[in-house]
Structure 1
Amino acid sequence: MELRQLAVFVAVAEELSFTRAAARLSVVQSAVSAAVRTLERELGAELLIRSTHHVALSDAGRVLLPEARATLAAAQEARHAVEQQRGGLRGTIHLGILQVLRDHPVSAARVIAALHARHPGIAVEPRQAGSAVMADDVRHGRLDAAYLALPSQQAGLTLHGLSEEPMVFVCPPDHPLAGRAALTLADVAGEPFVDTPEHWGTRIFSDLAYSAAGLAREIRYEIGDLGGVAAFVQSGLGVAILPPGMIDPVASVTTVPLTDAPLFRISLAVPAGRPTGAVTRRLVETALELRDRTPTPAG
């Protein structure tokens, strides 16, 4: 039994697809199939139940999966221990990051810079996507960690809270509601909204707040770019609800507090239920240290 075979098995088990596992491992699908077959032959048990359009874990596969993960994690820890003894921690982190338009106190860029200063042998490969997409990538091992804007208690994830701030109503300066001292979700529910796609954290928090209040709203424009959201609002095409830290500072818009505002939370997520490697732990430690050193807005 080889570590490579276990890594291939874990990838297929988490993706429940030979095709996706091959893409994740950057190898051809035939190599993935061959590695799993060899492992099954060596163990004398079927690990995966295959059909034309479906892959599932067998009873033996379900037993092996946590042990395989633990073995791979132990091997990685042994490698990191030797690397540290030889002069420094080395490795690559696949990190999901959020779109932030200004120097937010929990900026991933600041964390990566601090990590590089302390551990120059650690490389970070960032990937940007919606929070819901990146959460799934962390669960399935496609990302080692990710900055997420999601409510707490996410299945399969451990969330390290970094910041929270109440979201605000955003409108053009000449909008009839721009001069109000404060508003409620109900006050603005009838407005045409500009918002991000459904899998983005800003949209998720707003949708949850309106659902909890029993209110409906119209999303007239859906924009996959926070700068674009502000530009549409500035042009009078709609209004928005955004966290202050994600509003383009050069946009000509007005913000009004919401008395029942959703509380926008940013967390650093790692997988739950399996060991976190030394390199990823250093990233988390660095992020939490910077969080504690730089207080963020709170609701």
Structure 2
Amino acid sequence: MNEGPVSGRPVELRHLRAFLAVADELNITRAAARLRLTQPAVSRTLAALEAHLGVRLVDRSTHHLALTPAGVAFRDRAAVAVAAFDEAVGPGRPGPRPLRLGHAWSAFGPYTTPLLRAWQERYPGTPLELLRIDDRTAGLTRGEVDAALLRGPVEAPGLVTEVLYTEVRVAAVTADGPLARRESLALADLAGGPVVLNPVSGTTTVELWPPHTRPTATLTVGNTDDWLTAIAAGRGSGVSTTSTAVLYPHAGVAYVPLDDAPGVPVLLARRDAPGHPALPRLAALAREIIARGALH
């Protein structure tokens, strides 16, 4: 069925879901596969939404799709709307609606297992799903999760964040390299060779180094797995937190303390809108788990 401009017709939920899939994938073909639709159907749906709004949401002028400034702003509003709809129809679904907790890497650090076990014991009627999503907000702004565990400052509109604790940074170096034999390192020790950065979901940028000692070269990757692989292969070193050292051990990577790097705050984030009814219980339990760990 042809889908032209939706003048006179309301925007439907499928228009928003199609746009969010495109905004996530930045590729019509992958968005269509995710939605189980044809590529032309997704293109028509997106065009219809843009026609209704009277703005261009996606820039198609380059080889790779990109969101326009209007598209970036609309993505957050669309994600909130879709999440609100899912919340509204949730009680009518068979079985309890799970509480989806996103993270880009390292989850809740050393508190991950205690949190999951305590939740299962106390609230068995509400499943807690831990989802790794390689995105700066772990899918929160796109409505894929109800809350997210994030690291470092997050500049995204429409989010409410709470600092739960702070993690210490460590250096990640090639296991058989000379830096791995050091008891501790400074940021300047890493600047002489390439530094592996993950701008998609990581917290390390070249601004972590003082201007006069910034890395001479960088290598960009898209997720934690590729970051580890690059370091293990001797293509560079990296900076992360102690949780990464605990949760992502790698035979080719050695984690060494960093003497002069500031800590990284771990945040519990949610959208600034009515959300899953179990969110207050999640926040309270997270605080309790941290306090309990600090006492031991």
- Structure-2-length-normalised TM-score: 0.62
Structure-2 separation of matches of 1:265 and 1:117: 28
Quote the residue 1:200 is aligned against: 201
SS at match of 2:188: helix
Superposed CA deviations along residues 124-183 of structure 1, whole A, max 9, x for unmatched, are: 44431224152xx31232321112223255432212223322212233465444455544
Structure-2 separation of matches of 1:219 and 1:52: 32
Q: How far has the Cα of 1:209 moved from its partner?
A: 0.7
**Structure 1 residues 22 and 221: alpha-carbon distance in aligned structure 2, compared to 1, 3 A threshold:** closer
Quote the residue 2:260 is aligned against: 260
Q: How far has the Cα of 1:259 moved from its partner?
A: 3.0
Structure-1 separation of matches of 2:31 and 2:227: 35
Give the counterpart letter for 1:251 in structure 2. Answer: A
Superposed CA deviations along residues 76-121 of structure 1, whole A, max 9, x for unmatched, are: 79x59xxxxxxxx9422232134339x93231x5423322322222
Give the counterpart letter for 2:127 in structure 1. Answer: A
Structure-2 separation of matches of 1:182 and 1:129: 31
Structure-1 separation of matches of 2:58 and 2:104: 34
Structure 2 matches for 1:1-299, cutoff 5 A?
8=13, 11=16, 15=20, 48-49=53-54, 90-100=96-106, 104-107=109-112, 109-132=113-136, 134=138, 137-151=139-153, 154-172=156-174, 175-180=177-182, 182-193=184-195, 195=196, 197-201=198-202, 204-210=203-209, 215-220=214-219, 222=221, 224-226=223-225, 229=228, 233-234=231-232, 236-247=234-245, 248-249=248-249, 251=251, 253-272=253-272, 274-295=273-294
Give the counterpart letter for 2:259 in structure 1. Answer: T
Contact 1:70/1:275 (<8 A) preserved: no
Contact 1:163/1:267 (<8 A) preserved: yes
Q: Which has the larger radius of gyration?
A: 1
Please tell me the root mean square deviation across aligned C-alpha atoms, in Å.
5.0
SS at match of 2:204: helix
- Structure-1-length-normalised TM-score: 0.61
Structure-1 separation of matches of 2:242 and 2:227: 15
Quote the residue 1:42 is aligned against: none
Give the counterpart letter for 1:271 in structure 2. Answer: R
**Structure 1 residues 26 and 236: alpha-carbon distance in aligned structure 2, compared to 1, 3 A threshold:** closer
**Structure 1 residues 24 and 225: alpha-carbon distance in aligned structure 2, compared to 1, 3 A threshold:** closer
Give the counterpart letter for 1:246 in structure 2. Answer: T
Contact 1:91/1:123 (<8 A) preserved: yes
Structure-2 separation of matches of 1:127 and 1:249: 20
Give the counterpart letter for 1:113 in structure 2. Answer: R
Q: Structure 1: 5+ residue runs without aligned partners? A: 38-45, 81-88
Contact 2:104/2:137 (<8 A) preserved: no
Q: How far has the Cα of 1:216 moved from its partner?
A: 3.3
Give the % identical residues. Answer: 25
Structure-2 separation of matches of 1:254 and 1:70: 41
Give the counterpart letter for 2:287 in structure 1. Answer: L
Give the counterpart letter for 1:239 in structure 2. Answer: S
Q: Structure 2: 5+ residue runs without aligned partners? A: 1-9, 60-67
Superposed CA deviations along residues 20-67 of structure 1, whole A, max 9, x for unmatched, are: 99999989979xx8xx99xxxxxxxx984477969979xxx9xx99x9
Contact 2:268/2:283 (<8 A) preserved: yes
Q: How far has the Cα of 1:211 moved from its partner?
A: 7.2
Give the counterpart letter for 1:218 in structure 2. Answer: A
> Taking CA–CA contacts closer than 8 Å with sequence separation of 6 or more, which of the two structures ends up with the larger relative contact order?
1
| Range with greater deviation from structure 2 (258-267 or 175-184) | 175-184
Contact 2:171/2:237 (<8 A) preserved: yes
Structure-2 separation of matches of 1:242 and 1:23: 33
